[in-house]
A and B are shown apart, each in its own frame.
Chain A
Amino acid sequence: MGHRRRAAAVNNPSSQRVSGAPAEAVRVPSRKHNICMVSDFFYPNMGGVESHIYQLSQCLIEKGHKVVIATHAYGRRKGIRYLTNGLKVYYLPLQVMYNQSTATTCFHSLPLLRCVFVRERITVVHAHSSFSAMAHDALFHAKTIGLNTIFTDHSLFGFADVSSVLTNKLLTVSLCDTNHIVCVSYTSKENTVLRAALNPEIVSVIPNAVDPTDFTPDPSQRQDNRITIVVISRLVYRKGIDLLGGIIPELCLKHPDLHFLIGGEGPKRIVLEEVREKYQLHDRVRLLGALEHKDVCGVLVQGHIFLNTSLTEAFCMAIVEGASCGLQVVSTRVGGIPEVLPEDLITLCEPTVRSLCAGLETIIARHRSGSVPSPASIHACVQNLYTWRNVAERTEKVYDRVAGEEVLPLHRRLQRLRSHCGPVAGSIFAFVAVLNYLFLLLLQWLVPDRFMDKAVDATGPLGLWKQEQSSKHRALSKSATKKAAEPKISR
C-alpha cells in the first residue's frame, strides 16, 4: 500500500517499472522521470548548493524531465512559485531552526511532502546537502511512501569531534537505505563512504559545474600598473581568512604595486579590517562586502591572480570561476581542490602563510617577466571542463539506474536499519520508521491518494509551459544555460 507504482501511468509506456526486471529498465535510454529536488537551501538564499539545484534542474528540464523543487518558506516567500522554463518551486511553511535549516522531528513534514509527491506524481526524490534537515526528512518519507531516493553530498566532515560523530551517525541512518548517493569530488566520495559506512559502488562522483558564458575574461578591466589579487569567499574561519590576514601585510610590504580585492562578508571581516588599519593599507586592500552572483564576474576580471585560502573544500567552484575569467589561481591543497584544475592552471600550496606567500611570489614574478598565459587561453582551457549539461547527463544516468531498483519494503528496511546502523541507533530509527509508516497509513485513510488533485505539469513530457512558450524557447535555446544563471521569479 505504501509502495506505489505510479511512475508509468503518466510517462512513456516503455518506462514501465517492473520490479522483477530492473536490469531491463536500466537499458531504456529515453526514459523520463518526475523528479523532486528537496533541500533547505534554495533561492533567495545564495550559495553553491542553491545554484547547483537550480542549474541542474534547468538542464534536466531541457532534457525533457519533469522537475519540481521543494524547500522551506523564506520569510514572506511561501507557496508555489515558477522560475525560468516552468521550474516549479514549493516553498513549504516549515519552521526554520538554525542557519536556514529546518527543525526535524521525522514526522511533521510528512503530510506536506506527501502532498507534493502525490500531486506531482514524483518518481524520484533527490535530496541535497547533509546540512539540510529537510533533505533527510524527505529521504525518510520518500522511502516510507516507496519512492526511489538519491542524495547529493556537497560538503566534507571530519571524524574527530563529538558533533561530527553525532552527525555521521545520523548520516549513516539516513543513507543506509538510500538508492544512490552523488558526491562532488573523489575526496568527498571517500569521506561520505567512510562517514555513512556505505558500499562505494552506490556512490557516484559528479562534479559541480560553472557556466563559462557567465565568466569570461575582459583584460581591459585590469589596471596594468599594478597587480591585483582577488579573493571571493565568505569571510569565515573555514575559508582560511586568518591566513589571508597574514598574507596581506607580508606581500604588501614586499611589493608596493600589489593590491587586494576582497569580496564577501562574514564574521572574520574584522581580522582583515584590523590588518588594513594596522599597516595603513586602505588604498590597497578593498573590502567589497557581500556580492551578488551577477557581480562576481565583474570583480574577477579586474584581477590578475585569484587566491583561495580555504581550510576545507569538497569541490570549490570559486577557483573554476576564477580560472574561467582568465586569472592565475593560487590555492591551498585541501580536500577535493587538487582534483579540480590541471597543474598548469593552478598553483597549490600548503595551508600556511609562508607556503601561500611563496606560491603567490612565484606567480607575481612570472607576471613581471610576462611569462603567464593570456586570459583568453586560460578561459579556452577551462570553459569545457565543467558544464551543467554534462552534469545533467551524468545525473540522468543515475536516475535511470535508480528507477530500475527496488525500494526496500518495510520489513527489509527495518532489517537494514538494524543491521547497518548498530543495535541502539538502528532499533530507535526502525521504531521511528514504523511510526512514520503508520502515520502515512493514517494520512492515506484520511485523504486517499485517488482523491488528491493531480497538478498540471509545467515541465516534463506533458509540460504545458514549453508548448505555450515554444517559439520563445526555440529562439533562446542557444543560450539556455546563460538564461538559467539569472533566476526570474514570477508568481
Chain B
Amino acid sequence: MGPDSAPDPAVPWRKVLWERQPFPDNYVDQRFLEELRRNEGIRQYRYWSVVKEAGFVGQQLSCVAIFITLWLYMEQGRLSPETLLWTSLVCALLGYGLYQALTSQVEPGCGPRTRLADLQSATIFLSFTFGFSPVLKTLTESVSTDTVYAMSAMMLLAHLVSFPYAQPSPPGSLSLNAALFASVCLASRLPGALHTFAMLSCALLVFALWPCLLQRLRENAPCQFAGVCLGVCIVGVGGLGFQSPGGAVLLALALMSVTLLCPLLLVRLQRHKDNIQGPWDEAEIHEDLSRFLH
C-alpha cells in the first residue's frame, strides 16, 4: 500500500498498534508530532542582569591581577612587607566588620561561629604561616624560576576556571588550593621571609575571604555589589597600568569581553535555541531513591 491509497475519513486514525487500522503503514496523520514540545522551561535572560552576574567573573579576574601587581611591587622592593601587613590587617578588620553587619541584617545573633572561634582560626593560621615562612621561602630554591612562573600562571588559570562563581562561599577546594599553590610559588621568589609571610596572608585575604564577603554583598546589597565589582575592576586595571601598560590594556579588553560581550552573545544566541522534547525522551527519576537503601 502506498501513501496514495486514500484512507476512509469516517474512521479517525488512532495512535495505537493493537488495532488493525484501514490506513497504510506509512500513513501520516495530522496529529503526527502533536506531542512534540519545543524549548520547554527555557529561561529568558535579560541583558543587564546577565552583565551583573558576569561582574563576579570580571572582578575575580581583576583580583588575580591585583595580587600579581602586589607581588611585582614587592619583588621590586617598592612595597615593604610591613606596609602590606598593616594594610592587610586594616582591610581584614574592615571586611570582618562589614561581614558581621551584613550577617546580622538577616539572622540576628544566631551565627554558628562565635568571634572567639574566628579569632582562634586566624591566630592559628597566622602563627603557622609565620613559623613556616622561612621554609616556604626556600621551598622552591632548587626549581628554576621559569618553571615557578609557568606553574603559577597555570595554577592561577586553574583557579579562575574552577572557581565556583554561582556559589563562591566557601570558595571551592580546587580553586582555593590552586590559588594558594600559585601564591606559595610566587612568594618563594621574594627576597625575605617576612615578604613571604606578608604575601601569603594577602593571598588568603584575596582568594579565601574576599569571595565570601562579596557573596554576602551579592545576597544582601545587590546595588552596592555591582559598584564594588566595578571598583575592583578599575583598581585592577589601574594598578597593572603602573607596572605594565600593555598588560593593563589586555586586562581591560578581557574584562570588557567577559562582562559586556559574552552576555550579549548569550542573549542573542538564546533566540536560536531549539530544544525538542517528546514522549520518546528517557524518563528521569526525580525522587530520592537512596532512602530505600540507607
Please give the residue numbers on chain A whose beta carbons come within 8 Å of chain B beta carbons, in ascending order: 26, 156-160, 180, 185-188, 190-191, 193-194, 200-207, 238, 240, 242-243, 245-246, 249-250, 271, 274-275, 278, 311-312, 315, 332, 334-336, 339-342, 351-354, 385-386, 394, 397-398, 401
Given known contacts A246-B287, A351-B283, A401-B2, A201 and B28 CB-to-CB distance under 8 angstroms:
yes
- Verify A190–B36 contact, CB threshold 8 A: yes
Flag whether B107 is at the interface (Cβ < 8 A). no
* Distance in Å: Cβ of B140 to nearest Cβ of chain A: 40
Given known contacts A201-B3, A245-B289, A245-B293, A190 and B278 CB-to-CB distance under 8 angstroms:
yes
- Verify A200–B28 contact, CB threshold 8 A: yes
* Distance in Å: Cβ of B52 to nearest Cβ of chain A: 29
Q: How far is the CA of A209 from the CA of B21 in the complex (A)?
A: 17
Flag whether B10 is at the interface (Cβ < 8 A). no
Q: How far is the CA of A160 from the CA of B25 in the complex (A)?
A: 29
- Verify B292–A275 contact, CB threshold 8 A: yes
- Verify B289–A353 contact, CB threshold 8 A: yes
- Verify A190–B32 contact, CB threshold 8 A: yes
- Verify A204–B278 contact, CB threshold 8 A: no
Taking CB atoms, residues of chain A closer than 8 Å to B277 are 159
Taking CB atoms, residues of chain A closer than 8 Å to B280 are 156-158, 187-188, 190-191, 312, 335
Interface centre among B33, B278, B282, by most chain A C-beta atoms within 10 angstroms, is B282
Q: How far is the CA of A204 from the CA of B36 in the complex (A)?
A: 19
Across the A-B interface, the 10 shortest Cβ-Cβ residue pairs: A204-B25, A351-B283, A191-B280, A312-B282, A156-B280, A311-B283, A204-B26, A200-B28, A207-B17, A339-B17
- Verify A185–B17 contact, CB threshold 8 A: yes
Interface residues of B in 26-81 (CB under 8 A from A): 26, 28, 32-33, 35-36
Q: How far is the CA of A385 from the CA of B285 in the complex (A)?
A: 32
- Verify B292–A246 contact, CB threshold 8 A: yes
With CB as the reference atom, state the residue of chain B lying closest to A205: B25
* Distance in Å: Cβ of B232 to nearest Cβ of chain A: 36
Q: How far is the CA of A340 from the CA of B285 in the complex (A)?
A: 23
Taking CB atoms, residues of chain A closer than 8 Å to B281 are 158, 160, 312
Query: Which one of A200, A275, A339 lies within 8 Å of B293 (CB-CB)?
Result: A275
With CB as the reference atom, state the residue of chain A lying closest to B16: A339
Flag whether B275 is at the interface (Cβ < 8 A). yes
Flag whether B286 is at the interface (Cβ < 8 A). yes
Taking CB atoms, residues of chain B closer than 8 Å to A352 are 285-287
- Verify B276–A159 contact, CB threshold 8 A: yes
26 residue pairs A–B, Cβ–Cβ below 8 Å? A159-B276, A185-B17, A186-B17, A187-B280, A190-B36, A190-B279, A191-B280, A200-B28, A200-B32, A204-B24, A205-B17, A205-B26, A245-B292, A271-B293, A278-B293, A311-B284, A334-B279, A339-B16, A339-B18, A340-B17, A342-B19, A353-B287, A354-B287, A386-B18, A397-B1, A397-B25
Given known contacts A204-B26, A275-B292, A341-B18, A311 and B282 CB-to-CB distance under 8 angstroms:
yes
* Distance in Å: Cβ of B38 to nearest Cβ of chain A: 11
Taking CB atoms, residues of chain A closer than 8 Å to B17 are 185-186, 205, 207, 315, 336, 339-340, 386
Given known contacts A158-B280, A334-B279, A339 and B28 CB-to-CB distance under 8 angstroms:
no
Taking CB atoms, residues of chain A closer than 8 Å to B16 are 339, 342
Q: How far is the CA of A242 from the CA of B288 in the complex (A)?
A: 10
Taking CB atoms, residues of chain A closer than 8 Å to B283 are 240, 311-312, 332, 334, 351
* Distance in Å: Cβ of A151 to nearest Cβ of chain B: 14
Flag whether B272 is at the interface (Cβ < 8 A). no
Taking CB atoms, residues of chain B closer than 8 Å to A342 are 16, 18-19
Flag whether B115 is at the interface (Cβ < 8 A). no
Flag whether B271 is at the interface (Cβ < 8 A). no
Taking CB atoms, residues of chain B closer than 8 Å to A246 are 287, 289, 292
- Verify A274–B293 contact, CB threshold 8 A: yes
Flag whether B15 is at the interface (Cβ < 8 A). yes
Q: How far is the CA of A275 from the CA of B282 in the complex (A)?
A: 24
Taking CB atoms, residues of chain A closer than 8 Å to B1 are 397
- Verify B285–A191 contact, CB threshold 8 A: no
Please give the residue numbers on chain B whose beta carbons come within 8 Å of chain A beta carbons, in ascending order: 1-3, 15-19, 24-26, 28, 32-33, 35-36, 275-287, 289, 292-293
With CB as the reference atom, state the residue of chain B lying closest to A155: B280
Taking CB atoms, residues of chain B closer than 8 Å to A187 are 278-280
Taking CB atoms, residues of chain B closer than 8 Å to A245 are 289, 292-293
Taking CB atoms, residues of chain B closer than 8 Å to A193 are 33
Taking CB atoms, residues of chain A closer than 8 Å to B25 are 204-206, 394, 397-398
Q: How far is the CA of A428 from the CA of B284 in the complex (A)?
A: 36
- Verify A385–B18 contact, CB threshold 8 A: yes
* Distance in Å: Cβ of B278 to nearest Cβ of chain A: 6
Q: How far is the CA of A188 from the CA of B32 in the complex (A)?
A: 12
With CB as the reference atom, state the residue of chain A lying closest to B29: A186
* Distance in Å: Cβ of B83 to nearest Cβ of chain A: 52
Q: How far is the CA of A315 from the CA of B280 in the complex (A)?
A: 11
Query: Which one of A205, A238, A242, A386 lies within 8 Å of B282 (CB-CB)?
Result: A238
- Verify B275–A160 contact, CB threshold 8 A: yes
6 more A-B residue pairs beyond the given contacts A243-B285, A250-B292, A340-B18, with a C-beta to C-beta distance below 8 A: A186-B17, A187-B280, A278-B293, A311-B284, A334-B282, A398-B25
* Distance in Å: Cβ of B139 to nearest Cβ of chain A: 42
* Distance in Å: Cβ of B8 to nearest Cβ of chain A: 18
Q: How far is the CA of A312 from the CA of B286 in the complex (A)?
A: 15
Q: How far is the CA of A200 from the CA of B283 in the complex (A)?
A: 25
Q: How far is the CA of A242 from the CA of B3 in the complex (A)?
A: 43
Q: How far is the CA of A222 from the CA of B15 in the complex (A)?
A: 35
Q: How far is the CA of A193 from the CA of B28 in the complex (A)?
A: 11
* Distance in Å: Cβ of B41 to nearest Cβ of chain A: 12
Q: How far is the CA of A204 from the CA of B17 in the complex (A)?
A: 12
Q: How far is the CA of A354 from the CA of B287 in the complex (A)?
A: 10
Taking CB atoms, residues of chain B closer than 8 Å to A186 are 15, 17
With CB as the reference atom, state the residue of chain B lying closest to A340: B17
Q: How far is the CA of A203 from the CA of B176 in the complex (A)?
A: 56
* Distance in Å: Cβ of B216 to nearest Cβ of chain A: 36
Q: How far is the CA of A26 from the CA of B28 in the complex (A)?
A: 20
Taking CB atoms, residues of chain A closer than 8 Å to B292 are 245-246, 249-250, 275, 278
Q: How far is the CA of A398 from the CA of B286 in the complex (A)?
A: 42
With CB as the reference atom, state the residue of chain B lying closest to A192: B280
With CB as the reference atom, state the residue of chain A lying closest to B281: A158
Q: How far is the CA of A246 from the CA of B287 in the complex (A)?
A: 10
* Distance in Å: Cβ of B10 to nearest Cβ of chain A: 21
With CB as the reference atom, state the residue of chain B lying closest to A320: B18
Query: Which one of A188, A203, A242 lies within 8 Å of B285 (CB-CB)?
Result: A242
* Distance in Å: Cβ of B54 to nearest Cβ of chain A: 25
* Distance in Å: Cβ of A201 to nearest Cβ of chain B: 5
Q: How far is the CA of A156 from the CA of B283 in the complex (A)?
A: 12
- Verify B26–A26 contact, CB threshold 8 A: no
Taking CB atoms, residues of chain B closer than 8 Å to A354 are 287
Q: How far is the CA of A206 from the CA of B26 in the complex (A)?
A: 9
Taking CB atoms, residues of chain B closer than 8 Å to A156 are 280, 282
Taking CB atoms, residues of chain A closer than 8 Å to B284 are 311
Given known contacts A242-B285, A311-B285, A159 and B275 CB-to-CB distance under 8 angstroms:
yes
Taking CB atoms, residues of chain A closer than 8 Å to B293 are 245, 271, 274-275, 278
Q: How far is the CA of A339 from the CA of B16 in the complex (A)?
A: 4
